[in-house]
Chains A and B, each alone.
Chain A
Amino acid sequence: MSSLAASDERTALTTAKVIQPAWVRIVHWVNAVAMILMIMSGWQIYNASPLFDFRFSSSITLGGWLGGALLWHFAAMWLLMVNGLVYLTLGFATGRFRKKLLPITPAGVISDTKAALTGKLSHEDLTRYNYVQKLLYAGIIVVGVLIVLSGLSIWKPVQLQWLTALFGGYDVARYAHFICMAAICAFLVVHVALALLVPKSLRAMIIGH
């Protein structure tokens, strides 16, 4: 009896130590691949008709030319969308979004930002996000939804013209799509840098704990 209880306890302990459940890890890495394919092919597509006074170097684009980049972009979009839908569904259904990302209070964000900038923010307990993380993770989910919607409105400005109109028309939707990409890239820089600074967070996203 006592040994049973002890092993139960141990199971409970190991379960409690799981920081990132398997489904989170899977959708995270699938999303990472999909995002990289979308961004690199997107840069090549951008180069065909740049919105701003610069082009992306061909050493960091995917597809080789516009046609190849479009093939990649419209293939990887399925990976991004299906995986994103799985993530949103499970995030809401399991209560993970509510537990991990809420509440976000302005006071909490301000004090944690100060703590982060002065190097006083602790990463002791990886199961709990600080307010800066909460804001960034919630924000990037919103940007992820917006980049898909603006992408759909550029792809189907006739069939989904209500959506294109919501973005302010076809030409404005292109800028919205670009700005979302820039926001994701900025997030990625911070996200990857911090993952490398706190290696156990990277380990948790790979093996779970």
Chain B
Amino acid sequence: MGRLRSLLIPGVDKQLLVRDAVKAMPDLARRRFIASGASFGALTLLTGCDVSDSFSAEDMLKKISKFNDGVQALIFNPNALAPTFPESAITKPFPFNAYYAVEDAPEINGKDWKFEVRGLVDNKKSWTLEELYKLPQVKQVTRHICVEGWSAIGSWTGTPLRDFLKLVGADTRAKYCWFQCADSEGYNSPLDMRTALHPQTQMTFKFGDEILPRAYGFPMKIRVPTKLGFKNPKYVISMEVTNDYKGGYWEDQGYNSFSGS
């Protein structure tokens, strides 16, 4: 606490300040904050200049992140393809990654599962796995890049999302395709429409020529090689075509929403 004390401003109640800071944090960060014992970093992020009441570092950072969404949308070239690799370059074993252990990954019965399509689409019917498997599929070997920094090359096979959007008569002038997943905590993530229409954005049913295993998102994953890994939802159960920004599991906790590669 000696270190902390010297950083704080005279006349400001330290305990209240830290309590406010912790309150302002997303759940996960709050847990880590407490676990790691109030690091200088966390304190700076969350209190910032908040104590003066006129300016908050956290608000400023959120605004800049929104600005960065715009910059990335501007940089995004809908025709630029993510580099592809030979099959020999595939990372083995391909890492499992989620905010839960692989034993806790959703276990979905492919026979009962249905893919629900909602929002600004002509045909709102739900799709069974059998129906989806009949759509034309393509294979791509691309690099998956995690927000944490590591990367791995994988082989994904499925239907280009833009073909499916056309098939269901989606309004492609809408801003987002919003995906919801079967995870117990309700993973979800918005995908901007221009990225949804990118030729490599895929409704994925196979990994390495095999039916998508449970670890990698059975029965369906959305593979987006122009986005960071967390924007590639697994165990997808529904898609809503919408103009509303509905947030996302990680996006709401502070990861940049566009997160384009």
Chain A residue nearest in CB terms to B152:
A171
Whether A131 sits at the interface, judged by CB under 8 Å, is no
Is A58's CB under 8 angstroms from B75's CB?
no
Given A64-B39, A72-B45, residue A157 in contact with residue B149 (CB < 8 A):
no
Whether A92 sits at the interface, judged by CB under 8 Å, is no
B65: chain A residues within 8 A (beta carbon): 71, 74-75
Given A59-B40, A64-B45, A78-B64, residue A159 in contact with residue B260 (CB < 8 A):
yes
Most chain B CB within a 10 A radius of its CB, from A74, A78, A154: A74
B208-261 interface with A by 8 A CB criterion: 225-226, 250, 253-256, 260-261
Most chain B CB within a 10 A radius of its CB, from A49, A71, A78, A170: A71
A168: shortest Cβ distance to chain B, in Å?
A: 13
Given A62-B44, A161-B80, residue A75 in contact with residue B254 (CB < 8 A):
no
Chain B residue nearest in CB terms to A41:
B41
Chain A residue nearest in CB terms to B57:
A72
Whether A29 sits at the interface, judged by CB under 8 Å, is no
Chain B residue nearest in CB terms to A170:
B151
A111-167 interface with B by 8 A CB criterion: 154, 156-159, 161
CA distance A157 to B226 in the complex (A): 9
CA distance A40 to B62 in the complex (A): 19
Whether A84 sits at the interface, judged by CB under 8 Å, is no
Total cross-chain contacts (CB, 8 A) = 116
CA distance A74 to B146 in the complex (A): 16
Chain A residue nearest in CB terms to B150:
A49
Is A64's CB under 8 angstroms from B46's CB?
yes
Is B32's CB under 8 angstroms from A64's CB?
yes
Residue in B32, B39, B62, B77 whose beta carbon sits within 8 Å of that of A71 in the complex: B62
Q: SS class of chain B's interface: helix, strand, loop or mixed?
A: mixed
Is B42's CB under 8 angstroms from A64's CB?
yes
B225: chain A residues within 8 A (beta carbon): 158
Residue in A48, A64, A67 whose beta carbon sits within 8 Å of that of B149 in the complex: A48
A65: chain B residues within 8 A (beta carbon): 28-29, 32-33, 42
How many chain B residues sit at the interface, stated as a range, is 35 or more
CA distance A174 to B42 in the complex (A): 25
Given A49-B148, A68-B29, residue A63 in contact with residue B256 (CB < 8 A):
no
Whether A61 sits at the interface, judged by CB under 8 Å, is yes
CA distance A45 to B146 in the complex (A): 12
Whether A66 sits at the interface, judged by CB under 8 Å, is yes
B25: chain A residues within 8 A (beta carbon): 64
A154: shortest Cβ distance to chain B, in Å?
A: 8
Is B148's CB under 8 angstroms from A170's CB?
no
Could you mark each residue 172-198 of chain A with 1 if its beta carbon is under 8 Å from any beta carbon of chain B, else 0? 001000000000000000000000000
A74: chain B residues within 8 A (beta carbon): 64-65, 68, 256
Given known contacts A66-B147, A67-B255, A158-B83, what 4 new A-B pairs fall within 8 Å (CB)? A41-B41, A68-B41, A74-B68, A161-B83
Question: Top 7 A-B pairs ranked by shortest CB distance?
Answer: A64-B42, A67-B254, A58-B39, A48-B148, A49-B149, A49-B148, A71-B61
10 example contacts (A-B, Cβ-Cβ < 8 A) are as follows A41-B41, A45-B149, A60-B40, A64-B41, A67-B254, A71-B256, A156-B261, A158-B81, A158-B82, A158-B260
